[in-house]
């Protein structure tokens, strides 16, 4: 916080899309500044590019993010999940949605490091197999709260080659400044 207890906003140039090298820079802490929202680095970075990000639009009219992953049969998780029956772990698709919510909060200029805080509901109706060519992820924001805690709440989905197979409601990500503990049981 700034000296007067006000929420400090990080200065950043906002673009409407980001390539792989931009995402890696975000993972190194270079996109939104030190101590602010970072994506994980590979192999935990779960998308190759953000193709659209906007403070307007989306299902609830409060902003959206769309990202893509090029699926290749040699992706790290196919070798171990499961031997002879390769499938992308569902938790990795879910983590991608949380990653996108955190990225959006940093993109808005809000300070702090992102942490997933939970979700309301999750439904799987298919699998990401090595035969899939492209995964498209979407998050549509329902609410952004900016007080002592910055909190994003969004609904999300994952489509494998155009078929929506994951739906998540009320994804929650908070931004925390160094030294502030994340709430327990959030």
Q: Which of 81, 167, 169, 177 is catalytic?
A: 81
- Say which residues have a Cβ less than 8 Å from residue 42's Cβ, sequence separation at least 6: 24, 27
- Are 2 and 177 in contact, with CB atoms under 8 Å apart? no
Which residue(s) pair with 95 in the sheet?
none
Q: How distant, in Å, are the alpha carbons of 76, 123, 137, 177 from that of 12?
A: 33, 35, 24, 17
Which two three-digit tokens encode residue 107? Answer: 């993109």
Q: Does 81 qualify as catalytic in the annotation?
A: yes
Which two three-digit tokens encode residue 172? Answer: 């929650």
- The residues assigned a catalytic role are 81
């Amino acid at each position: 916080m700034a000296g007067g207890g006000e929420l400090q906003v990080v200065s950043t140039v906002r673009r409407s899309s980001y390539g792989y090298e931009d995402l890696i820079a975000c993972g190194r802490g270079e996109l939104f500044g030190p101590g602010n929202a970072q994506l994980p680095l590979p192999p935990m970075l779960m998308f190759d590019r953000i193709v659209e990000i906007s403070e307007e639009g989306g299902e609830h009219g409060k902003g959206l993010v769309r990202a893509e992953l090029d699926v290749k049969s040699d992706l790290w998780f196919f070798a171990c999940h499961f031997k002879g029956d390769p499938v992308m772990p569902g938790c990795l698709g879910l983590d991608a949605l949380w990653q996108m919510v955190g990225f959006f909060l940093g993109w808005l200029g809000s300070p702090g490091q992102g942490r997933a805080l939970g979700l309301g509901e999750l439904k799987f109706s298919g699998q990401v197999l090595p035969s899939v060519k492209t995964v498209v992820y979407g998050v549509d924001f329902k609410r952004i709260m900016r007080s002592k805690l910055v909190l994003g709440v969004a609904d999300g989905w994952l489509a494998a080659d155009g078929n929506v197979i994951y739906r998540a409601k009320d994804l929650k990500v908070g931004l925390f400044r160094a030294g502030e503990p994340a709430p327990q049981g959030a």
